[in-house]
Amino acid sequence: MAQLELGKPEERRKPQRRVNGIFWVILLNLGIYVADHVFQVRGIKNLYLYHNFPEWYQFLTATFCHANWNHLSSNLFFLYIFGKLVEEEEGNFALWLSYILTGVGANLVSWLVLPRNAVSVGASGAVFGLFTISVLVKMSWDWRKILEVLILGQFVIEKVMDAAQASTALSGPFRGGHALQSINHIAHLSGALVGVLLVWLLRKVPSDSPDQ
């Protein structure tokens, strides 16, 4: 799937970049999950996004926290696929920037829209953002590419929704009577929209390349 032909002709393609950043993103998600659910480190719960009185850092740290293994494993699968595509095309810094901005943007919108007793966790907003970015930076107006994107997009949405549904096992009360948000459709849509905005802004930046 990482070799999907979504974009530029062979002769115009950028040289393949060395991919390291996505593995650090995955390791960070895994490390926080192990600390939270295996070793049950008490302070990890403070990284969740509590909508009633959120700390500023929780909008970021909640993107690395997950409700259970099914929730995490599905997100890691798509993070690897789409994060790798973004990193190969745009580089390590762009990957981290995309993950952070789409994840934080999704959590910010969730906080504004969802009930005050909700708790948000998960990388799903960032997953949708990276999916959108990986598609838009490579997509061309070829009906075969568009069909490919539609098929893959439907698959991504279905699997991420299934993973989010698995988090209902932890939908009981959290700190201060908060309830875990089991399926945060707002975060999914917001992450995708932030991804679209990022690509639009990048295309507005002047380039010295003769191909632009």
First-to-final CA distance of the chain: 28
> What is residue 184's predicted lDDT score, i.e. its pLDDT?
62
- Identify whether 188 is a catalytic site residue: yes
- Alpha-carbon span 179 to 93, nearest angstrom: 35
Q: Residue-wise pLDDT tens for the chain (212 aa)?
A: 444 444 444 445 555 667 799 999 999 999 999 999 999 999 999 999 999 999 999 999 999 999 889 889 888 988 998 899 899 889 999 999 999 999 999 999 999 988 888 899 999 899 989 988 988 887 665 667 667 666 776 766 666 556 555 444 344 445 555 555 455 667 777 888 898 898 888 777 665 444 44
Q: Catalytic: which of 74, 98, 110, 124?
A: 124
Of the candidates 149, 205, 25, 32, the one whose C-alpha atom is nearest the C-alpha of residue 98 is 25
Could you give all domains of the chain from N- to C-terminal order, each with its CATH number? 19-202 (1.20.1540.10)
- Identify whether 209 is a catalytic site residue: no
Sheet with strand 179-180: strands edge to edge: 49-50, 118-120, 179-180
> What is residue 15's predicted lDDT score, i.e. its pLDDT?
58
